[in-house]
Amino acid sequence: MDQFIDAYKLVVLKNYANFEGRLGRGAFWRFVLVNFIITIVLSILAQTFGVVFWLAYVLYALALIVPGIAAGVRRLHDTNKSGWLVLIGFIP
């Protein structure tokens, strides 16, 4: 369990807007899993209890935009691909 928390802290706190370097497969997927679980819990709480948790859900989602993109860029660097490829996900 500590590996999941450490991977999450590594991506979110220590490398919040770091778009350089590499991020290993394990750390990336642990970050994605913890982020997914937190998002699901906040979503359930928001649907159950209302506006306060919707605000928490939205703030959490907004706070994770930059580290999520940065993690994707560093993961692409780890596979020897350009970090600019992460922008493909923003094309409608």
Residue 1: pLDDT over 80 = no
Q: How far apart are CA 30 and CA 28, in angstroms?
A: 6
Residue 64: predicted pLDDT:
93
More confident residue, 82 or 2: 82
Which pLDDT band, with edges at 50, 70 and 90, does 47 fall under? Answer: very high
The total of structural domains in the chain comes to 1
- pLDDT value, residue 69: 94
Where does residue 50 fall: left (phi above 0), alpha (psi -120 to 50 degrees), or beta otherwise? Answer: left
Domain span holding position 72: 2-90
pLDDT tens readout for residues 60-76: 999 999 999 999 999 99
Cα–Cα dist 79/3, whole Å: 22
Tell me 51's DSSP state: H
